Amino acid sequence: MSAISRRTFIGGAGMAAAALAACGRKDESTDENANAQAEAKQAQSTLTLDPSAWQYNATDDVYYQLGVTYCATPADQNYEQLAVFVPGAYFNAKDNGDGSFTCTPSDAAAAGGFTASTAPIVMPVNTPGYSAQSPLSEYASQTAYTGQGFVYVHAGCRGRDAGAPSGVVDLKAAVRFLRASAPNLAGSTDRIFTFGMSGGGAQSVLMGATGDSALYTPYLTAIGAQDASDAVLGSMGWCPITGLDVGDEAYEWMMGTTREGLTEEEQAISNGLAAAFATYVNEAGITDENGNTLSLDESEEGIHQAGSYYQRVLQAIETSLNDFLKDTEFPYDASAASAGMGGPGGGGPDGMGRPDGMGRPDDIPNPDGNNQDGTATDADNSDASTTSEESSSGMGPGPDGGTGVARRGAGGPDFLETDGTALPDTGEDALTDDSDFDTVEDIDEETDFEAIDDISRTQNSGGISLSGTYETAADYIDALNADGEWVTYDETTNTATVESVASFCAALKRASKGLGAFDQLDRGQGENTLFGVGGSPAHFDATLARILEEQGSTYAADYAADIKLVDTQGSDMQTRVNMYTPLYYLLSTSEGHGTSQPAKHWRIRSGINQGDTALTTELNLAMALQADNRVESVDFAAVWGQGHTQAERTGTAEENFVAWVKGCLA
C-alpha cells in the first residue's frame, strides 16, 4: 500500500471540510429553491382574471381590462401583460361604485350571432421582424372585432433580442392564462384564433403549428405559465416568414438567378444553397393536393428547375396571375393598387398594433428600392410599361457590418450559454440601442411593414416596373413582357401561361436580401438576432455552415462556433430552430410530427412579388397542412401584384379575416 503524503492528507482534509460546508450551502440553496418554487406555485394558482376589475366603455359597449399579467414569474414585466375587450352583451355587470364593474358571463344576449359561451377570441400578433409587441396601456377601440361579437385579446410579448423562442413562449402563456380564467371570461377558449403579418404572421403560424409542444414546456415553466393547453383553433398569416431551417436554401433556389455581380466564392455559395434545397425537397416527402409526393430533378438550365415540385411552384404562379385576371376589372390602375395593402381595393386589418410614427407615404419606395407591390421604382410614371435599370448584385453588407444592422426586439433573460467556447466577437455596434417598437391601436392600408421591421434589405432596381393605367388585360400582359415574352395570354379564356419560375422571378420577384437571406454572412439579419445570444446575433443555418466548411470559406469558423450555442433550458441551436419551424411539426417525415396539436383552421396569404422570402415558404406550409388529417381547412392564396404586405385578392384584410373566422365556426 502506497504512502499518503502529508500534503495529500491535508489537501484531502481541506476538501472534506469544504465539501461539508458546501453540503450546508446546498441544503440552504435547496430550501431557498423549494420556497421560491412554492411561492411561484401559489402565485400561479391565483393567476386569473379578476371579475371585479372590469372597466366599461359606453360608446363601444365594451368591458375591458388592461395591464393584466399573464404569467406568475415574468421574464419581462414590461411586455408580459395582456388587455381584454369583451362585447357588453356577454356580461351581467354590477357597478362597484368606483368606476369598475364586477362581471359575470351570461348567454342571455347575443352579439354578431354569438353568445358569451360561443364567441371566438382573436389575438393579434404584430411583431414585424420578430420585434416585441408592447402591451396596450390605455383603452383602444376594437369595434372592428367586438362589433362582430368577437372577444379581442392583445397580449404583449418579448421580441427577437430576448432570443427564440421567447415571443411564442409569451403568446402561449397568454393563451394558457385565458383558459385558466375561463370562468371569469366571456368567449370560448376552445375558439382562439391568432393573426399576424410578416414576423407576426410567422409567430401566428407557429402558434397554430406548435400547440402543446413539449419543447416549449421548460420555457413556459420558467415564466410561471399556467398549466393548461396552449393550442389554438385557427391561425391567420400574411406573408409569414417561416421555414427558417431551409429559408436560405429556398431563397437561392427560387431567386438566386436574379443576383448579379457575385464573386466566384459567393456564386458557389448561392449554387450550393440552391442544390441543398433540392436535396431537402426530395427527402421531405412534401405532397400535393392529390397526395402525390413531389420532387425536384436536375435541369439543363438553372439548378434543379424541373420535376413535379417545380411544376407545382410554377402552377402556383400561374394560378396567382389567373386569379388576378379573374378578379380585376379593367381599366386597371397599377399605381393605385400597389399603394394599397390588399388586392384591388384592399386594406389592412385594424387592431393589430402599429409601430408608432414609422409609416411611409405611398409615393416613397420601400427600403429595397422597390414599390410596395415588389416591382422596381420608376422615376417617370408617365409610361405604363417602362423597364428599369439592371440589378445590382443583391449582396448584403460584408463581414465588417455596415448597413445591415438589425434592431433589437424586446429585453428579457439571456436563455443562452455556450459549450465553453468563446462567443464570436460581433463588435459593439452589432445592434442599435432601440429595444422595441412602440405600438398604437391600429394599422391601415398605408402601413409599410418593410419600413418598420428592421430587416436588412439590399437595393434592387431590376425587373419590370408596372405603373399607370392598363386599359385591357392584353395591355397588362404586354407590360409584363416588356423585357421579353414570358407570359402567354389567351384572350378568349382570359387565362395566362407562365414560361418558367426563373422568368417570373427575373421580372417581378428579384432577390432583395443579401446572400444568406436569413442567416446573413455578417450576422446582420433580424433572424440572426432572433437566434442570437444575449442581444448579440448568431448564425443558425446548419446547412449553410456545412456548405461554407466544404468550400473552405472564411465564414466557416464563425458559423461553426455559433451552431454550438446552447441555452439554459438545455436546447441546442437546432432545437431552437425546430421550435420555430412549422413543418418540423407538420411534415409526416419529420421527427416532430405528432408531437403537437395543430390548429384545425388555417388562412395563409402571400404577396407573390415580395423579395423577403421564396414563394415555397408559404406554399410548402399550405401543402403540409393539406396533407395533415388533423387539419380541417386550409385557405391559401398567393396574391398577384402584391409584395410584403397584408395581401388580399379582393376586399380588405380586416373584412376577410373576420369573414374567415365566422366561416370556420359556421
Q: Which three three-digit cell numbers place residue 295?
A: 420532387
Instruction: Tell me if 88 is assigned to some domain.
Output: no
Q: Which three three-digit cell numbers place residue 213?
A: 409542444
640 touches 342 (CB < 8 A): no
- List alpha helices for 366-454, DSSP H: none
Torsion of CA 445, 384, 606, 483, to 10 degrees: -160
- Taking the CA atoms of the chain, what radius of gyration do you get in angstroms? 26
pLDDT the model gives residue 536: 87
Contacts of 130 (CB under 8 A, 6+ apart): 159, 160, 164, 167, 199, 202, 203, 409, 526, 527, 529, 530
pLDDT the model gives residue 615: 98
Buried/exposed 533-552: b ≥16 CB within 10 Å, e otherwise: bebbbbbbbbbbbbbbeeee
Neighbouring C-beta atoms of residue 592, cutoff 10 Å: 19
Per-residue pLDDT reduced to its tens digit, 233-249: 999 999 999 999 999 99
Query: Phi/psi of residue 287, each to 5°?
Result: -120, 155
- How far is the first Cα of the chain from the last one, in angstroms, to the nearest whole number? 85
Contacts of 359 (CB under 8 A, 6+ apart): 446, 447, 448, 451, 452
Instruction: Tell me if 278 is assigned to some domain.
Output: yes
516 touches 248 (CB < 8 A): yes
Instruction: Tell me if 561 is assigned to some domain.
Output: yes
pLDDT the model gives residue 31: 60
State how many domains the chain has.
Answer: 1
Instruction: Tell me if 207 is assigned to some domain.
Output: no
Instruction: Tell me if 232 is assigned to some domain.
Output: no
pLDDT the model gives residue 450: 63
269 touches 557 (CB < 8 A): no
Rounded CA separation 370/254 (Å)? 19
Q: Where are the beta strands (DSSP E) in 542-597?
A: 566-567
Tell me the average confidence (pLDDT) per consecutive run of 10 residues in the chain, 666 residues long.
Answer: 33 40 49 57 76 98 98 97 98 98 98 98 97 97 98 97 96 98 97 98 98 98 97 98 98 96 96 98 97 97 97 98 98 80 40 34 32 36 31 32 29 31 32 35 55 64 88 98 97 98 97 96 95 89 98 97 91 97 98 98 98 97 98 98 96 97 98
Range of the domain at 259: 247-345+362-445+453-573
Instruction: Tell me if 610 is assigned to some domain.
Output: no
pTM: 0.82
Among the listed residues 316, 458, 330, 318, the one whose alpha carbon sits nearest the alpha carbon of residue 384: 330
Instruction: Tell me if 592 is assigned to some domain.
Output: no
Beta bridge partners of 195: 124, 236
Instruction: Tell me if 22 is assigned to some domain.
Output: no
pLDDT the model gives residue 570: 84
